[in-house]
Amino acid sequence: MIAGMRLRETDLYPPIKTYLENQGYEVKSEIKGCDVIAVRGDEPPVIVELKTGFNLPLLFQGIDRQTMSEDVYLAFAIPHKLKRTNPWFRYKRDIIKLCRRLGLGLITVRLSEDRPADIQVHQDPAPYVPRKNKQRQGSLLQEFERRVGDPNQGGINKRPIVTAYRQDALRCAAYINEHGKAKVSDIRQNTQVEKTAAILQRDVYGWYQRVDRGVYELSPKGNEALTTFVDVLESLKISAEK
């Protein structure tokens, strides 16, 4: 961004125009609502929509322009020194992925008083064909089958997500709480949690304390978990009794 000046969309047009002209395009602006139109020979027109930053209106415009051409780019300005709060700094990969899925091209423009504009093309327009990931799909279905009941609320949860792994860890914690301390073999036999040893040894949540070889008791965090997830423990108990 140019120091001391508020950036405008029109500031992006000259460098974008020059960039396209250097590739052999004839470039004009503001035709039928399109910010930039570039034509080269008999090729389909290239449309570029300009914004001072990445936002939803830019996406909406790009999607609308796809009714006029398959070659639509979104172009927006980014500062030379990116702050952590800048969307491009935080969500660069996600923004590129989103444009790829929508079939939109993506261009960033860095403007400065003392150097030429830096134009980067991050994504060219192309039809998006998602590749199915069988491993991820299998993991998804496995978690669905292993999870008991539906202990979470869709959307934002105030407490940690209850996964099948966390349910197994809670089973172990409940058994230890009932007996004060317990052997791994006893916990496995009575809770039917196959990976009891791994859960206790890894102690992902900090719920357990080893007091002897193969013997565990609950930590303060473990006791807190029994209160936090009391409803989950109740549903696990009901499920086990069926």
136 is a domain residue? no
Give the number of residues written for the chain. 242
DSSP 82: -
Task: Give the alpha-carbon dihedral of 153, 159, 165, 169, to 10 degrees.
Answer: -130
Structural domain range at position 47: 9-123
Q: Is residue 134 part of a domain?
A: no
146 within some domain: no
* pLDDT tens-digit series, residues 152-182: 877 666 889 999 999 999 999 999 999 999 9
We report the CATH number of the domain holding residue 61 as 3.40.1350.60
Domain count, the chain: 2
Weakest mean pLDDT among 104-118, 177-191, 195-209: 104-118
Q: Please, which residues have CB within 8 angstroms of residue 158's CB and are 6 or more apart in sequence? A: none
Burial of residue 52 (CB within 10 Å: 0-12, 13-18, 19+) is middle
- Asked whether the whole model's pTM tops 0.75, one would answer no
